[in-house]
Structure 1
Amino acid sequence: MSPLDVKGVLFDLDGTLMDHRGATDAGITAWVAEHFPGHPRLAEAAALWAALEVPYLAMWHEGRCTVQEQRHLRLQALCAELDVPAPADLGAAYAEFAARYRGAWAAFPDVAEAVAGLAGFALGVLTNGTQPMQEAKVRAIGLAGRVGPVLTGEVLDGCFKPAPEAYERAAAALGLAPHEVLLVGDDVVNDVTAPAAAGMRSVWLDRTGAEPGPEGFPRITSLTELAPLLTA
């Protein structure tokens, strides 16, 4: 892979540029500890919350509920799993969690160096969150103006990863064809196999170095490996 092959790089955001899991773990653990002090399953709360993320986000992406409804439903589901009463005001309760989550936003340590090493490439962020929140994350972790446009399904005509149109429209937003763009991210389907099926290059970011990966795709364990990969 060389600069002649790739003219643009799209980054996933959560789990790639920002430590989303670390922030959500901290936020939901603090929320449960405050509302249900001494709960015997407090140590499991973060893993339970993470497991609920995919199905409830999918409901929103598929148009089966609003983003606010999926948040409230997810909080209800967590309370049911913990066998505690759901808050009467789910909106206020979710806002408490969200404030803790926002307070823990942080970039991964390898991000600044990796972005600096991609001078000359068109850059962008392709993410499945809400537009205002994902833009706020990019600002909070110090990347505003450094990683190009933040592209969510809300600005890509309702197309979220892994829909083929999401990758095609994201490439077009950079002024490029899909085959001229490399997507790097931590989700095997959304960031590796699905973009490849849509004609885009992809690299799997496996920060733990422990998961089995898809065959035939470059695999890196740190974003600092990205620039050397592109110039090899």
Structure 2
Amino acid sequence: MIRAVLFDLDDTLLDINLTAFVARWASGKARILAKASGIPYPIVMERLARSYMRVNDQTRDDQMTNEQLLNETFFSLTSIPLDDPAIADAIGFYERECLEPLKGGIVMAAPKIGARQTVEKAMSMGLTVALATNPTLSMDVDRVRMRWAGVDDIDFALVSHIANSTRTKPCARYYQEFAAQLGLAPQECLMVGNDAARDFPRPDIGMSTAYVGHGWPRKAVFRGPIEALGARLPEIVDLLDSRQDLR
């Protein structure tokens, strides 16, 4: 039985040029670290990128959170301790207070039409709603994008971020751990996402996905805009529940 709906954030609830946003956010972070360490900005930027690439490595076999691995990797490359209180405070202030100007221009962040209504529909059905965004950024950065999406006031049961996850999408372990934190099995969750490469767990763990992107993945239980998903959500949940009853 489906008990929860897990929503992706970027390009699912939030219309955003994510590549542009990440580039501008990372540039600001690298400039702070360069100023604090005396290491030239281009070097810091390159090594920050390498550190995040390691976090996203789908062949990882470590037991660290994504944040712990990022800190360890970046320190090994630069000797800059991201968990030093002074550095962490500076980065935290930047991510809480200085990202709002990035909303416009090339980033073009705005709520997805019908997205909030779809979340509210799931809640009205008595389903748990959670925000399963790819956990490479901090909760502070998640909150900024949630605000841009117009869902920051919704009581999500769980929001994934770099400090509470040990893998990234599409690794099955990420989805298994996320569901477990909700007290659920993957089969009890419906994932809503726009990325055919990331929002379907790999390998398959029995978690269904409603696809709201521009492609046409055959394994999706729904394909179309998120505004249409809200209207069909009761039908989709009933269908998934009936399939499970037949097993």
With normalisation by structure 1, the TM-score equals 0.61
Instruction: Select 2:12's aligned residue among 12, 16, 19.
Output: 16
The residue number in structure 2 matching 1:150 is: 159
2:115 is equivalent to residue 111 of structure 1: yes
Aligned counterparts of 1:67 and 1:133: Cα–Cα separation in 2 = 21
Unaligned runs of 5+ in 1: 32-53, 70-90
Instruction: Select 1:182's aligned residue among 176, 183, 190.
Output: 190
Corresponding letter in the other structure for 1:178: P
Corresponding letter in the other structure for 1:108: K
Aligned counterparts of 2:147 and 2:54: Cα–Cα separation in 1 = 27
1:154 counterpart SS class: coil
Aligned counterparts of 1:23 and 1:161: Cα–Cα separation in 2 = 16
Is the contact between residue 125 and residue 147 of structure 1 (CA under 8 Å) also seen in structure 2?
Answer: no
Aligned counterparts of 1:109 and 1:137: Cα–Cα separation in 2 = 15
Instruction: Select 2:53's aligned residue among 41, 53, 58.
Output: 58
Instruction: Select 1:200's aligned residue among 180, 203, 207.
Output: 207
Deviation per CA, 1:172-226, whole angstroms, max 9, x where unpaired?
22222110000011111211253x71221111112x4xx3x32232343211222
Aligned counterparts of 1:100 and 1:225: Cα–Cα separation in 2 = 31
2:141 counterpart SS class: helix
Instruction: Select 1:227's aligned residue among 214, 230, 236.
Output: 230
Distance change >3 Å, CA 100–CA 136, structure 1 → 2: closer
Distance change >3 Å, CA 109–CA 60, structure 1 → 2: same
Q: Aligned-pair distance for 1:169? A: 1.4
Is the contact between residue 100 and residue 144 of structure 2 (CA under 8 Å) also seen in structure 1?
Answer: no
Distance change >3 Å, CA 67–CA 136, structure 1 → 2: farther
Could you say what the CA RMSD is over the residues aligned between the two structures, in angstroms? 3.5
The residue number in structure 1 matching 2:102 is: 101
Deviation per CA, 1:126-180, whole angstroms, max 9, x where unpaired?
1124122012221343212425121124212x22111211101111222221100
The residue number in structure 1 matching 2:170 is: 162
Q: Aligned-pair distance for 1:17? A: 0.8
Is the contact between residue 196 and residue 211 of structure 2 (CA under 8 Å) also seen in structure 1?
Answer: yes
What percent identity do the matched residue pairs reach?
23
Unaligned runs of 5+ in 2: 28-48, 58-65, 75-90, 236-247
Is the contact between residue 105 and residue 140 of structure 1 (CA under 8 Å) also seen in structure 2?
Answer: yes
The residue number in structure 1 matching 2:221 is: 218
2:229 counterpart SS class: helix
